[in-house]
Amino acid sequence: MLFAMIAKDRPGTIDKRLAVRPVHLQHLDSLGQQLRLAGALLNAEGTPEGSLVVIEAETLEAATTIFNADPFVSEGIFDSVEIKPWRLAYDHMSPKV
């Protein structure tokens, strides 16, 4: 099953976010095919202000454990985190075969 994490950054953490980003990306890379998509949520100026991450996991509890292992969580970057089951309806990002 797919699960989405929608997270909003704590105000004033952009410098910390940028400093932690390399370790955050290593964490995402370590998930392999379990990671389905990930990216920053941007404000009107194009500055990151949160994250959207979609993974495949057996249960909500398993997904929560994976999401909580993200350095952005452990380093206090996020002010709020919401984890929801997610269903893909359209995929126009993948190349057509």
At 15-56, the pLDDT tens digits run 999 999 999 999 999 999 999 999 999 999 999 999 999 999
Give the type of residue at 92: H
Q: Do 97 and 86 contact (CB within 8 A), yes or no?
A: no
**Domains, the chain, with CATH or none:** 2-86 (3.30.70.1060)
For residue 86, the surrounding DSSP H or E stretch is strand 78-86
Which one, of 11, 12, 40, lies nearest residue 24 by Cα? 40
At 53-93, the pLDDT tens digits run 999 999 999 999 999 999 999 999 999 999 999 999 988 88
In Å, the largest CA–CA distance within the chain is 44
